[in-house]
Amino acid sequence: MPDPRHPKFPASIVTQSQPFSPPGHIPNPHAFRRLTDDERRASLEDYLKHWQKGHDLWVFGYGSLVWRPEFEYVERRLALVRGYHRSLCLWSRINRGTPEQPGLVFGLENGGSCRGMVYRVAARHVPDVLDELWKREMPSGAYVPRHLGCHTPHGAVGALVFTMDKTKDSYVRGLQTHQLVDIVRRAHGTYGPCIEYVIETNRALKDAGIHDRKLDDLVRQLNGAAPS
């Protein structure tokens, strides 16, 4: 049975045969390192200071967590986070790329707002869910996990939100659209092709009634259409 995480994309939109031409400020592949288990646990324990034991916890998703949360939750809502916007600003050197040919995944940068989904995790599952989330989202510590207010149709909730750590070499800004297209088409990591990540995120956002015009335009170009 095919792995739903790895759908097959037409060869015309996945480029692997030509050499990768980095944009100039790609991080040194030899400098890349994963967090140790102790470092990852310390990061998680630091965040857990915000959680009241015995209480449910909300988790905000704005990228792959919208279409592939992979954890048990008891409620899901549309949500808006103010003060941050979704951006392909994070080099992915494990999940959607490699240190030598990194992909790009979404982070939250300062300014504007971001619509996504927020999930309520039952209190008894919080430690296990967060442990798995840290393995998935924090392999190199590229995010700053924050506890932020999220606006939902049923009222505001406080939620775990992964925001971009601009001090890390994983942070990238100023890429032109043609560079984004080239990088996304070529990269492939342990979770599959980077193009899958971008297209599936766009599709899931649309299915939820969330429209991201910048992402829409990027996906049209990934699919071979001219920019709007």
Domain holding 153: CATH number?
Answer: 3.10.490.10
Q: What pLDDT does residue 3 have? A: 39
What's the confidence (pLDDT) of residue 25? 66
Domain count, the chain: 1
Q: Please answer whether residues 194 and 113 qualify as being in contact, where contact means their C-beta atoms are separated by less than 8 angstroms.
A: no
Residue % of the chain over a pLDDT of 70: 87
Does residue 20 sit within a domain? Answer: no
Instruction: Tell me the one-letter amino acid at 22.
Output: P
pLDDT at 209: 97
Average pLDDT over residues 160-185: 95
Tell me, yes or no, whether 7 lies in a domain.
no
Judge whether residue 17 has pLDDT over 50.
no
DSSP string, the chain: ---TTS----GGG---SSPP---S-PPPGGG--PPPHHHHHHHHHHHHTTS-TTS-EEEEESSHHHH---S--SEEEEEEEEEEEEEEEEEESSSS--SSS-EEEEEEEEEEEEEEEEEEEPGGGHHHHHHHHHHHH-SS--EEEEEEEEEETTEEEEEEEEEE-TTSTTB-----HHHHHHHHHH-EETTEEHHHHHHHHHHHHHHTT---HHHHHHHHHHTTPPP-
Tell me what pLDDT residue 225 has: 61
In a domain, 101, yes or no: yes
Chain segment 195-220, per-residue pLDDT in tens: 999 999 999 999 999 999 999 999 99
- Residue 128 domain-assigned (yes or no): yes
pLDDT of 23 higher than 60: no
* Confidence check: pLDDT of 8 > 90: no
| 12 lies in some domain | no
Alpha-carbon span 84 to 87, nearest angstrom:
9
pLDDT in tens, 137-170: 999 999 999 999 999 999 999 999 999 999 999 9
pLDDT at 20 over 90: no
67 falls within a domain: yes
- Which pLDDT score is estimated for 11? 42
Per-residue confidence band for 24, with pLDDT thresholds at 50, 70 and 90:
low
What is the per-residue pLDDT for 2? Answer: 34
Q: What is the C-alpha separation between 109 and 158, in angstroms, rounded?
A: 19
> Which pTM was predicted?
0.87
Q: Which domain holds residue 103?
A: 34-222
- Summarised one tens digit per residue, pLDDT across range 30-50 is 889 999 999 999 999 999 998
pLDDT digits (tens, 9 = 90+) for 90-132: 999 999 999 999 999 999 999 999 999 999 999 999 999 999 9
With respect to residue 131, please indicate whether it lies within any of the assigned structural domains: yes
**Residue predicted with more confidence, 207 or 9:** 207
Decide if 218 is inside a domain.
yes
